[in-house]
Structures are given as C-alpha cells and as structure tokens.
Structure 1
Amino acid sequence: MKGTLSMSKTVAKQKKTVITRKELAKQKVLIAWSAVFVIYGFIFCYLPLAGWLMAFENYKNKTGLLHSKWVGLEKFKFLFSDVTFLKVIRNTFCMGTLNLIFTTLTAIIFAILLNEFRLLRAKKVVQTISYLPHFLSWIIVTGILNDALSSTGIINELLIKFGLVKDSVPFFSIPALFWPIVTFAHVWKETGWNAIIYLSAITSIDPCLYEAASIDGAGRWGKIKNVTLPGIRPTIIILLIMNMGNLLNAGFEVQYLLGNGLVKSVSDTIDIYVLTWGISQNDYSLGTAAGIFKSVVSIVIIVVANQIAKRRSGERLF
C-alpha cells in the first residue's frame, strides 16, 4: 500500500513537471521579453546602488570609490545638523503633500465629470485636450507660467482691469505664493492624464448597479455617491499608496526654474540640495547621503501607508 502511494506521488510530480515545461515552452516569447526588462532594471536600477558607498566615504575623484577615506555616518550627521537641509525637507514634504492631495482630488472629480458626459464626441474632445499638457516639458510649462504671472502678464492685467489690485502683483517674489503656484502647475499638467486610470475604473463598474440605483430613486449625485465612488475606491487606495512614496519627490525642474533668491527659503527641494552639494561643490558623498535619506524615507512611507490601508479598508499594495 505504501509503495503504491509513493509511486502515485512520483507520477504526479513528473506530470506537474511536464505540464510546467510545456507552459514555459508556450510562453517562451513572453519570458524572453520579461528577461530583457529584468536585465535592464538590474543594470540601470539596482547595479548603480553600489554608488551608495560614497555616502560613507570622503569620496574623491582621484582615489575613486574603493580607495576613498571611510568616514562612516559623518555625512549623515552633517545633514541633520544643517539648518538648510531641514528647511529643504520641510519644503519638499509640504510641496509633495500639496501635489498629492490636489492632483488626486482633481483627477477623481474630473474623471467623474467626464463619465457624466452624455455626448460621446464632446467627451473624447475634452479628454484629449485635458491630457495633452502631460506631454509638455516642464520648461514649456514654467515658461507659460512666467508669461502669465509676470508683471505684464494676463493674470495681472485681469486683476487690474477688474479692480482687484491697483498695481501688478510680483507673484514670483512672494514666498507665500510659491507653493500654490507649484501645486497649480502640477494640477494643470497632470489632472487629465491621472484621470484616465480613474475613468477606466469607472467604466468597469457593472451598469446594473446604476440601473438598480435609478429604480431606487437615486439621482446623479446619489449614483456618484453610492455606486461610482465605492466602485473606484480600491483604485483610489492603491494609487494613493503608490503615490505616497513620491511625497519627497516634489520635483526638481519646476522649483529650479521658477525659484529665485527671493523665494529660495521655500523653493529649494532635496533634489536641488543634492545638485548644489553633489555637483556644484563637488561633495558627492553629501549629495549621495541626501539621496539615500530620500529613498529610505519614501520606502518607509509606502510600507506604513500600505499597513494602514490594509487595516482600515482591506486594500493593500503588497
């Protein structure tokens, strides 16, 4: 009896092996393409992490990565004792939070409004126009902002014409206005593109739910509240978790291009700090330490956000 059971187990294992090999043979094209991307990711994403060693050295170009003087955590101690770096962290986190909140809200609202369009042609035209700014470079976007918000720009002309102000407002010279300007730039550029995912999630909702809501007497707002929003809730949570990791990726181009000496205290981000110390002053070790800090904090934020979402709603990224 025992011999029969062992033989049956061996045959079952052999069958599983055969089936697995057949499946691999069928999927060989997909496996080959997957291998290309895995190799690409390893070479360009993981292999460069060896450069993190610079953060623990007093790196010099002459001595190289393996022969520079080891300093341990000295660069990290300098970072957290530097008042400028602490301000940079504040700026980056605040701008990242504002970008996350407003780009998410506007994308959800815009997707719901697009879904309520009854004219298919109008819906396609509006959607196409809305996501075109995503393909513009930040240089073009900041150029448009500079022209619109300059002392002779259209915004100041309208404000003066309607009697809201007497003289033109120097938008880029007022620190309190810098974060709202950056947030508006991100919202204008990315709302249409971000709304595509939410719109796809809305179209996947079962139409029978809307019919049932209509039978129960629900109007448009009732359907949005009781059918649409609960239907896209998992998508919202997953995207929020993913985007939480970008809180310290508030941007580089827009702050660097729109910033100036008058708003430097609120415009500098971690990326600009890395550029200043790592390249302009040739302190690659300090720049690398700042980059490691940003990466580690981003990972921690994603893990914490994932655990909170798992406990509160059951949705999770991993």
Structure 2
Amino acid sequence: MALALKLIKPEARKLSTRKHSKKIFSLYLLLAPAIVLLLVFNYIPMYGIVIAFQDYSVFKGIAGSTWVGFKHIGYFLHDDTFWKVMRNTLIINFYDILFGFTAPIIFALLANEIHSRSFKRVMQTISYLPHFLSWIVVSGIIYEMLSPQHGMVNDMLGMMFGTKPVFFMTEQHFYRGITVAADIWKSVGWSAILYFATIAGIDQSMYEAAMIDGASRWKQTLYITLPMMVPMITLLLLLKISSIFTANFDRFFLLENPLVYDVGDVISTYTYRIGLEQAQYSLTTAIGFVQSLLGFILLISANKLSKKLIGLGLY
C-alpha cells in the first residue's frame, strides 16, 4: 500500500504541475503584447543613446560617425541657454506639483462629500471630458478665451473694471500661471480617478465608528480618508517627482511663443528647436541622456527618503 502511494504521488504532482504551467502560460500570452511593445519602443531605441557621444551624421549613420566622448555634454553644461530652460522646467514643474498634483486630491475629497450619487456621477463624468481633448483643441480654446479681441476674459474685465484689452499669452508674468491652470483644467478629473477608487475602498465601518464617537465630517476626512489615501498619494508623488526634469511637450509647444521664451521655454521645446530645426542630433541626445539620468537619480533618492520618513515607497 505504501509503495502504491509512493508511485501515485509523483504522477499526481506532475499532473498538478502541468495544469499550473498551462495557467501560467495563458497569463504569459496575455502579457506578451505589452512586453513586445515595451521592448520595441522603450528598450531597443536605447541603442541610439550612443549618438550623444558622437558627431552624428545622418549620411554616415551610427556605425560611421566620429566618436567625440563627452564633448556635447560639456557643451550644454556650459551653455547659458540650457540653464535658462532648465530653470524654467524646474519652476513650472514645481508649480505643477504644488497646484496640479494637489488639485485632484482636493477634488476627490470634495466630491466624496456629495451625498447625491446621480449628481456625483454626472460631475465626475464632466470632469473627465477635458482629458480626451487634445492639446491642440485646448490651446485653441485658451487663445480664444484670452484674446484681446472679443476674448471672454478681456470682455469681462472691461465690463467689470473698465480695463484695456490685454494679450495674456504674450505677457511673461501671466504665462506660467496660464499653462499650469490649463493643465489642471485638462487633467484634474482624470487624475482623480485613482483617488476616487481609493476612497471607495475604505471600510465604511470606520466612518460609522467615527460618527458614533461624535467626529465631524472634517475630522473623518482628516483622520480616516486622508490617511487611507497616503499610499496612493505617495506612489503618484514619487512618479511625479521622477519626471520633474521633463515637461509636457505638447502643452508648451502649442502655448508658447518667442515673446515668452524667457519664462516658458522648457527642455523639451528647446531640444525640439535645436534638434529638428537645427539638426543637432548629438547635442539633443546628450541633453536627453542627462535629463533621464537626473530623473532616475531623483526617483531613487525620493523613494529612499519616502521609505525613511513614512515607510512607503515604490519598491
């Protein structure tokens, strides 16, 4: 009998292993397209980073171009224009974090206080809609609203205060605020989706216990809702910090003009001009390489700091 059990057990184990392998294989098949896209569009193009260390020529190609080492990296590190666009990128990203990152959190908390489910759903749906508009459409709307000729904002200011028309898009002290406000309007609803899901997953018995203890809605938000949102806030904040050296190209390319370059020209638009318009491919690749390296270092540092301070991180 014992001998029979010994003979059956290995067969049963093999059968269960085969079933398990089939299940895993089907999951791998589902994952395969994403892996292929990641390899084709993210990892294979990384080979082109060698252009940063060459005087790249389109006609000679990567294999035939001359190697120059850190020449291009040294060039832009000593270029005043680069440091100007770096400053603009950091300042605008700081505003995006200060106002743009906190706006979806506040929006989700306020929406959570709406008792009518139907009204809440309609409001959330309306808030998502700007996300599906391209920046071309959004920039057109902004230019029309702020136009000095029959623009809604100038007309309202003229009626209320009697002010003369102002072309806001050419005024440097208005430009950064306009771009940040435009990004908040376009993305606040979509960015709040994860916070809505987090709030929906909070155990309602915690609120019931707080109500029995006499906690107001403000205290329930402060001591229950916000602490339960901290992991999601931390995750998204770390991802936002990692991209602080980058900027949405579409937003700035469509909203900026030469009159606001001093305050609105960012790394992505700067590299576009010198890369595609002036065909300095090696220089722009070097800038992109340093930009990615700084973002990686910033992400690792922010993650370690987050784990040390609050015990949460990306990994």
Residue in structure 1 matching 2:93, options 73, 80, 96: 96
Judged with a 3 Å threshold, the aligned counterparts in structure 2 of structure 1 residues 19 and 90 are, in CA distance, closer, same or farther, namely farther
Match of 1:47 in 2: 44
The alpha-carbon deviation at position 21 of structure 1 amounts to 4.3
In 2, the alpha carbon distance for the partners of 1:21 and 1:294 equals 47
Residue in structure 2 matching 1:162, options 160, 163, 167: 160
Amino acid at match of 2:218: W
Q: Aligned runs of 1:91-240 on 2, under 5 Å?
A: 91-152=88-149, 153-163=151-161, 166-240=163-237
Amino acid at match of 1:220: R
Length-normalised TM-score, structure 1: 0.92
In 1, the alpha carbon distance for the partners of 2:15 and 2:283 equals 54
Deviations, residues 204-256 of structure 1 (Å, cap 9, x unaligned): 11101101110111111111111110111111111101111121222112211
Match of 1:3 in 2: none
In 2, the alpha carbon distance for the partners of 1:17 and 1:288 equals 52
Secondary structure of 1:66 counterpart: helix
Length-normalised TM-score, structure 2: 0.93
In 1, the alpha carbon distance for the partners of 2:43 and 2:17 equals 30
In 2, the alpha carbon distance for the partners of 1:95 and 1:17 equals 59
2:60 maps to 1:73: no
The alpha-carbon deviation at position 282 of structure 1 amounts to 1.0
In 1, the alpha carbon distance for the partners of 2:96 and 2:188 equals 11
Judged with a 3 Å threshold, the aligned counterparts in structure 2 of structure 1 residues 74 and 129 are, in CA distance, closer, same or farther, namely same
Judged with a 3 Å threshold, the aligned counterparts in structure 2 of structure 1 residues 214 and 38 are, in CA distance, closer, same or farther, namely same
Deviation beyond 2 Å, 4+ runs, structure 1: 12-22
Amino acid at match of 1:162: M
Deviations, residues 181-222 of structure 1 (Å, cap 9, x unaligned): 110011000000011100110111110110111011111111
Judged with a 3 Å threshold, the aligned counterparts in structure 2 of structure 1 residues 13 and 66 are, in CA distance, closer, same or farther, namely farther
Match of 1:265 in 2: 262
Residue in structure 2 matching 1:256, options 244, 248, 253: 253
Amino acid at match of 2:153: I
Contact in 2 for aligned 1:205/1:231 (Cα 8 Å): yes
| Structural RMSD (CA) | 1.9
In 2, the alpha carbon distance for the partners of 1:14 and 1:74 equals 65
In 1, the alpha carbon distance for the partners of 2:12 and 2:273 equals 61
Judged with a 3 Å threshold, the aligned counterparts in structure 2 of structure 1 residues 230 and 35 are, in CA distance, closer, same or farther, namely same
Secondary structure of 1:263 counterpart: helix
In 2, the alpha carbon distance for the partners of 1:291 and 1:127 equals 37
**Structure 2 gaps, min length 5:** 1-5
2:262 maps to 1:283: no
Deviations, residues 118-159 of structure 1 (Å, cap 9, x unaligned): 111100100000010000000000111000111131111111
Identity of aligned residues (%): 37
In 2, the alpha carbon distance for the partners of 1:87 and 1:13 equals 69
Moved more, 45-54 or 18-27: 18-27
Judged with a 3 Å threshold, the aligned counterparts in structure 2 of structure 1 residues 229 and 50 are, in CA distance, closer, same or farther, namely same
